[in-house]
Chains A and B, each alone.
Chain A
């Protein structure tokens, strides 16, 4: 019992360490997110998607984050993407924020209702999450447990508005007051290459209207389609109201590309790209080169504020790709939080 008494002051000390004051955003910002700071300063931002482990070991999360951290302003933790079960986005974010990484907490509307999601948003913010990405989510049939009940209580657009209401009005959707509102940089996705293409910019406008601060797009392999999309986005003046990060990633081979095209919802890869991989002596190398080229082209498109690199199972290439593309312009993303 003597030992326990001696422990007490120690424990109190470590608790005080954990309870840092909840930060207020700098003037003109909605959060103290580093991603927001990079984007608002007009620099080209880089985010990267983490492959979530099928494991309860925190070491696996840090291992997965390692190849991304040195080139990414924020790391996206997917929320059972493709309706496949992995470690939760909120768990991964909680670990990574402890280590000083910027994170994007992805919320899919497929698995949780409005009560769970609003609670998780507060929990995530309390654990140091500063960016959220609101997604509709793929249908449960696409995943490893097609018998699951799909929830879809919110959709991505109404979710964006709900989080904005929590942040800016300081209330839940029930009207109950939130004593300390979450300071979050709110994101949404868009898929410029999916049908109905004519209406994609209009729907983006809806997301901006709902309160999106940034957009991360799905994979873009069809540059002419994306350029047409961006032209319309500029006509609507959306590039001045929201930061758009274009989705890119390295393809491993023509076969992998074909598989993705027919099995992953919302992926559009033109035949020309697949032909190019097929003809290459070293398809993996060619896929990497293609990705570097695409990033270069993205930097030239007016209204594109950064890239979002999704290198599923090829995360080890991310750093090389980003460096080779010059996307960071010699800039080094913070590895640790300035005040950590």
Chain B
């Protein structure tokens, strides 16, 4: 919902704290998820994720969540789906070029990031979205990634992408993942 989404950006600092806690909790759950099998927990977790984030942020389940780096303003609501916005077409008052009655998602993102304690992630160059991950749980991906960061992952294709966007990988692990994807 547009209203709720604006609320989340206005309170980006509080949401950042909440989100940080939650992410740490998910990362701590990695051994449990591994034991149960990530493939098995994928569907229920994705279901809950879609409901909560859909309500709060108008989440589109891109599977590569970057909210903590975008001032809690979901970039997938940008009609151009920019991951490094805003574009040059923002209208006077910060309204969107494509949908004139909507506040520009990226103008909100920079405002939200300025309110956050660790909003600096917005300065990192974000990679293009991997469309094959659409609909999957970003929470689980982040938890796997956080756990895998210590392990040495060696897979040619994704290491190139992850290496090309190291800042983004460090601040938003789900956007440039290195760890193996579980079988789906």
Residues of chain A having any CB pair with chain B under 8 Å: 109-110, 114, 136-139, 141-142, 150, 152-158, 161-162, 165, 169, 171-175, 189-191, 194-196, 198-199, 202-203, 205-206, 209-210, 218, 265-266, 268
Contact = CB atoms under 8 A, between A and B. Distances in A.
Contacts of B80: 109-110, 136-137, 139, 150, 152, 155
Contacts, number: 121
Interface of B: 79-94, 97-98, 104, 107, 110-111, 123, 125-128, 131, 156-161, 163-165, 167
B180 to A, nearest CB: 15
A266 B97 contact: yes
B84 to A, nearest CB: 3
A171 B160 CA distance: 8
A194 B164 CA distance: 29
A173 B161 contact: yes
A194 B83 contact: no
Contacts of A268: 92
User: Which of B98, B125, B163 has the largest number of chain A CB atoms within 10 A?
Assistant: B125
A265 B159 CA distance: 38
B97 A265 contact: yes
Given A158-B165, A209-B123, 5 more contacts: A137-B80, A158-B126, A173-B161, A174-B161, A194-B88
22 contacts: A137-B80, A139-B80, A142-B97, A155-B87, A157-B126, A158-B83, A158-B165, A161-B127, A161-B165, A162-B164, A165-B164, A169-B163, A174-B161, A195-B90, A199-B110, A203-B84, A209-B125, A209-B167, A210-B125, A266-B88, A266-B90, A268-B92
Contacts of B83: 155, 157-158
